[in-house]
A and B are shown apart, each in its own frame.
Chain A
Amino acid sequence: MKFLSVFKDLNLRDKGAEFWENSSPTKRKVIATSLVGLAALLPFMGVGILDTPVSDYGAVLVYPVGMFILMALGLNIVVGKSGLLDLGYVAFFAIGAYTMAILGTHTSLNTWEIMPIGIALAMLAGFILGLPALRLRGDYLAIVTLGFGEIVRISALNTKAIGGPNGIANIPVPPSIGPIKFNLNDQKAYFWVVLIMILLTIWMIRRLSVRRAGRAWEAIRQDEDVAELMGVNTLRYKLWSFSLGAAIGGAAGVLYGSKTLFIAPEMFTLNVSILILACVVFGGMGNIWGVMVGAAILAYLPERIRFISDARLFVFGLALVITMNFRPDGILPRKKREKVIVKKVSN
């Protein structure tokens, strides 16, 4: 039990933040660049310990690992930042994927041209769902979003025009960017695209967190009534939060469609929403590093360890129960630390 109590008190998040704060701008740049570089080289590290016996390592890096991280970051804006429990996140992923599939097979648009359309449609869906649903709170919102996720899947299942249960096949791969070609046997290019999308998302979240929008979300999460009485247009910022989360889900969906080349409604079940939510909760709600670590672990381990892939949901459940008991705020929880008070010296 000694070991467990150490586990409980360990606050890597604060240690990391402290280290970051004490670093000079140059040092920060070096750290950030080398981290990104290291991540970009990940597809080449598929030998030895990191390799996945169950499936192709390169493919695993894109889906689930990269996409889970991306979607967990998107859902984190909704659940972690603004405190809105969304159980239908898969709907936006599905909308992105279906946009890619329909436009990719029926028009001459390529993946990069479809990407903004998919993002816009997902955002629009988020907005339309949010406008009535975000007037609800807590459990009621969760139930409505859960229903929305199922409605999207079942609509796809029952619409003959988009393949019904057979889904849509022969979705084109993205066109090559310069010398970088997209093909399924070697998915490095896909991984780099996901990486860029993740970096953009991190940039967006970090930026917004210290601005008006981030404060509004934080205020809404902590006390919605007071937020409104302090002048926060709560519905507007909740809609933003929902739409931005949806946009990221949609972006992930477009790329996913363009990678699997075949999509069907059965890929977009409630399970996916729950898995992404589990990544967020397991990693640490509201903290982007925690969410990324959580998503990476939950996405990667089942592919690495054969036993887990056979009993995926069981292990996820177990992992969540254990985390909730010993680290209720996740592996890397949100900000708890305070800056050291520097008293002003009067002169």
Chain B
Amino acid sequence: MSKVLLELKDLTIKFGGVTALNGVNLKIHEGEILALIGPNGAGKTTVFNVVTGVYQPTSGEVLLHGKSLKGVKRFNITKMGIARTFQNIRLFGDMTALENVITGTDVHKKSGLLGGLFGLPRARREEQAGRDKAHQILEFIGIDEYSDRLARNLPYGVQRRLEIARALGTEPKLIMLDEPAAGFNPAEKVELAKTIKKIRDAGYTVLLIEHDMSLIMGISDRVAVLDFGQKIADDLPTVVQNDQRVIEAYLGVPSDAS
């Protein structure tokens, strides 16, 4: 097995009386596509929110390269190499597609406001590099032709892809996609699957939340299943598919079974 990139250790998070995650252990290895599935309300998006620092865990911890992310500021988590997309698209609508991605690339820039104001050499260089990088990423995702369009005026599918591009702009080690195929037709899903594989092949690690089983079975290297905040399975796609507990979680237990 290759190196562990991200590890969730006994992760528990409670909101008042509700336990959203209950002692979840999960390892994500470098260079794999790990799909996180589970019925609605199982705690998938909560995992994303804990990893990106939106929520602090009640107990347990998140380790990136073996280092705890406890108390690390959200923007620093991004800087350390974790980027995400959102289930409901949350682009910067009044910016162009290109500006959206450049905003992502800004995270690693060293020059700040004053450098930009006075046009210092490093600021100029970084600005140009960010712009070139953003174009490359848009090209890579296949939406460079939209680079000068305002994000909010883009077609739905392009917006979803732009979210991925923006996340890639931050040069993450781990990219977390929250239902990237939501609302896609079958043809678009096939395209998306190709893109995700391409992202993995380019050296990124992918954590994917998705409901579309054919998509997941087609591209993921491993599948972890959450149900009521607990991990009930974590194995190869084909194994998980036939796991009795997973089937029960999705379809329920027959009333005459005992």
Give A residues with C-beta under 8 Å from B. Answer: 204, 207-208, 211-213, 215-216, 218-219, 222-223, 225-234, 237, 240, 334-336, 338-344
* Bound CA span A237–B1, Å: 42
Do the beta carbons of A212 and B92 come within 8 Å of each other?
no
Given A213-B112, A229-B74, A229-B78, check contact A218 B153 (CB 8 Å). Answer: no
| Cα–Cα, bound, A339→B170 (Å) | 25
Candidates B94, B104, B111; contact of A335 at CB < 8 Å: B94
Asked if A212 and B111 make an inter-chain contact with CB atoms under 8 angstroms apart, the answer reads: yes
- The 5 closest A-B CB pairs, nearest first, are A231-B107, A211-B116, A231-B78, A339-B148, A213-B113
Taking A226-B90, A229-B78, A338-B96 as contacts, is the C-beta distance between A215 and B146 under 8 angstroms?
no
Evaluate contact between A338 and B149: CB separation under 8 angstroms.
Answer: yes
Given A211-B127, A229-B78, residue A222 in contact with residue B93 (CB < 8 A) = yes
Complex CA distance for A32 and B148, rounded to whole angstroms: 26
- Chain B proximity of A59: nearest CB distance (Å): 33
Q: Mark B90-122, 1 if CB is under 8 A from A, else 0.
A: 101111100100111011010111001101000
Distance of A287 from chain B, by nearest CB (Å): 12
Contact B149 A212 (CB under 8 A): no
Interface pair A231/B104, CB less than 8 Å apart: yes
A-B contact sample (18 more), CB < 8 A, given A213-B112, A215-B106, A342-B148? A213-B117, A218-B94, A218-B95, A218-B99, A223-B92, A226-B90, A229-B84, A231-B104, A231-B106, A231-B107, A231-B170, A233-B73, A233-B75, A237-B113, A240-B113, A336-B150, A338-B153, A343-B145
B54 within 8 Å of A (CB atoms): yes
Most buried by B among A219, A225, A240: A219
A336 to B74 Cα, complex, angstroms: 31
7 contacts between A and B (CB under 8 A): A204-B117, A212-B127, A213-B112, A222-B92, A227-B92, A227-B103, A334-B94
B10 close to A (CB within 8 Å): no
In the bound complex, how far is the Cα of B109 from the Cα of A222, in angstroms?
21
A215 touches B103 (CB 8 A): yes
Known interface pairs A223-B90, A232-B103; A207-B116 also in contact (CB < 8 Å): yes
| Chain A residues in 8 Å Cβ range of B221 | none
| 8 A Cβ contacts from B42-78 to A | 52, 54, 73-75, 78
Q: Is the CB of B145 within 8 A of A341?
A: yes
Does B137 sit at the interface, judged by CB under 8 A?
A: no
Q: Smallest CB–CB gap between A342 and chain B, Å? A: 8
B133 on the interface (CB 8 Å rule)? Answer: no
A219 surroundings in chain B (CB, below 8 A): 92, 95, 103
> What is the bound-complex CA distance between A30 and B111, given in angstroms?
33
What separation, in Å, do the CA atoms of A227 and B78 have in the docked complex?
11
Q: A222-B93, A341-B149 are in contact. Are A208 and B103 (CB under 8 A)?
A: no
Instruction: Decide if B148 touches A231 in the complex (CB within 8 Å).
Output: no
B27 within 8 A of A: no
Which B residues have a C-beta under 8 Å from some C-beta of A?
52, 54, 73-75, 78-79, 83-84, 86, 90, 92-96, 99, 102-104, 106-107, 109, 111-113, 116-117, 119, 123, 126-127, 144-146, 148-150, 153, 166-167, 169-170
Partner of B117, one of A208, A222, A225, A339: A208
Q: Which residues of A contact B116 (CB under 8 A)?
A: 207-208, 211-213
In the docked arrangement, what's the CA distance between A335 and B152, Å?
Answer: 13
A213 CA to B102 CA in the complex, in Å? 12
B81 CB to closest chain A CB (Å) equals: 10
Inside 8 A of B83's CB, which chain A residues have their CB? 230
Least CB distance from B171 to A in Å reads 10
CB pair B111–A232 under 8 Å, yes or no, is no
Q: By the criterion CB–CB under 8 Å, are B145 and A230 in contact?
A: no
The docked-state distance in angstroms from the alpha carbon of A221 to that of B117 is 20
Closest A residue, CB atoms, query B79: A231
Q: Chain B residue with minimal CB distance to A214?
A: B116
Q: Do B104 and A230 touch across chains, with their CB atoms under 8 A apart?
A: yes
A residues near B150, Cβ cutoff 8 Å: 336, 338
Of listed A212, A237, A340, residue having the most chain B CB within 10 A: A212
Chain A residues with CB under 8 Å of B90's CB are 223, 225-226
Given contacts A212-B116, A213-B113, A343-B145, contact A232 B75 (CB under 8 A): yes
Contacts of B93 in A (CB 8 A): 222
Residue of B with least CB distance to A203: B117
> What is the chain A residue whose CB lies nearest that of B53?
A229
Shortest distance from the beta carbon of B65 to any chain A beta carbon, whole Å: 18
Distance between Cα atoms of A215 and B145 in the complex (Å): 21
**Cα(A216)–Cα(B116), bound, Å:** 12
Task: Given A207-B116, A213-B112, verify A344-B127 contact (CB < 8 Å).
Answer: no
Closest beta carbon of chain A to B180's beta carbon, Å = 16
Q: Is the pair A212, B113 in contact by a Cβ cutoff of 8 Å?
A: yes
Contact status of A216 and B106, CB under 8 A, knowing A226-B90, A339-B148: yes
- Give the shortest distance, in Å, between A162 (CB) and chain B (any CB): 33
A216 — nearest CB in chain B belongs to which residue?
A: B106
Whether the Cβ atoms of B145 and A232 lie closer than 8 Å is: no
* Chain B nearest CB, measured from A210 CB (Å): 8
- Taking a contact as CB atoms under 8 Å apart, the answer to whether B123 and A230 are in contact is no
Chain A nearest CB from B84 CB (Å) reads 7
A216: chain B residues at CB < 8 Å are: 103, 106
How many angstroms from the CA of A81 to the CA of B106 in the assembled complex? 18
Which of B102, B149, B167, B170 contacts A215, CB < 8 Å?
Answer: B102
CA distance A99 to B86 in the complex (A): 49
Q: How far is the CA of A208 from the CA of B127 in the complex (A)?
A: 12
